[in-house]
Amino acid sequence: MQLPLDMSALEVRISYRFRDPALLRTALTHSSFANEQMGGRAGCNERLEFLGDSVLSLTVCNFLYRTYPELPEGRLTVLRKNVVCQRALADYAMQIGLGNYLLLGRGEAKDGREKPKLLEDAFEALLGALYLDSGDLSVVEHFLLPFVRAELAKIEQNLAPFEDYKTLLQQYVQQTPGEELCYETVSEQGPDNAKVFTVRVRINSNDFGEGKGSSKKEAEQNAAREALGRYLPR
């Protein structure tokens, strides 16, 4: 298969035909291609990515605000982070085969079509192009929200049967660079043969849950389970 594929095939996959095909081409043009073929970064997708990032945030925030009227700001923020993180956006891009349509320089073309960072940026650029071409956020919503709904469904499915709550909580926390997760033993009560441990879980120095158990391990699992109930919707 010769790459990149024709842009018109991508329009079929996203169910949208661009009035200005040049916008779509720009969204698919990586800086490495612009540098090699166009003599500079002008014409690459970085400006569209900048716009698409804001379009993405507004669309997702609006959807979450209306879908979860009972959730406080903190939990809505966490949800947003999980559905717009690099892993999620790269997955959305892979679902439409976006990497196969990208214009890449010779070096990036070797393995760049599957790089999460590159796919994330291209997906955001595509959102920016959709918005500029249509002038209508509802067009972006029609394209984007099925991915968001499916990602939220996966989050809820993962929570139900999961027993290793510490691992699951760690996975979600790690999706946001810089966030720190730790467990603190609050108390040990009772005789040695029947101790009850109380453990607190903290994310970025904020208390997110507390659990009790006959061992520190059990108490940590219970604390993580409570934190997940606050960290994600149920």
7-159 has which CATH code?
1.10.1520.10
Residue tagged active-site, from 124, 151, 220, 226: 124
Residue 104 confidence (pLDDT): 92
pLDDT value of residue 160: 57
Pairing of the two strands 181-189 and 196-203: antiparallel
Predicted structure pTM score: 0.73
* Residue 136 annotated as catalytic: no
CA distance 24 to 7: 8
Mean of the pLDDT values across residues 169-180? 81
Q: Is the pLDDT of residue 171 over 90?
A: no
Report the mean per-residue pLDDT for the chain.
Answer: 89
pLDDT-derived band at 107, boundaries 50, 70, 90: confident
Over residues 22-37, the pLDDT tens digits come to 999 999 999 999 988 8
Map tokens 């379009």 to a residue. Answer: 55
- Portion of the chain with pLDDT greater than 70, in percent: 94
Per-residue confidence (pLDDT) for residue 127, from 0 to 100: 98
**Is 133 considered catalytic here?**
no
Catalytic residue among 49, 53, 133, 151: 53
Q: Where is 143: in which H helix or E strand?
A: helix 137-159
Highest average pLDDT, of 89-103, 159-173, 181-195, 205-219, comes from: 89-103
The pLDDT value recorded for residue 161 is 56
DSSP letter assigned to residue 115: -
**Fold (CATH) for 165-231:** Double Stranded RNA Binding Domain (3.30.160)
Q: Is the pLDDT of residue 225 over 80?
A: yes
* Distance from C-alpha of 85 to C-alpha of 173, rounded to nearest angstrom: 11
The CATH 3.30.160.20 portion of the chain extends over 165-231
SS percent in the chain: helix, strand, coil, step 5: 65, 10, 25
Residues of the chain with CATH 1.10.1520.10: 7-159
Segment 48-65, tens digit of pLDDT: 999 999 999 999 999 999
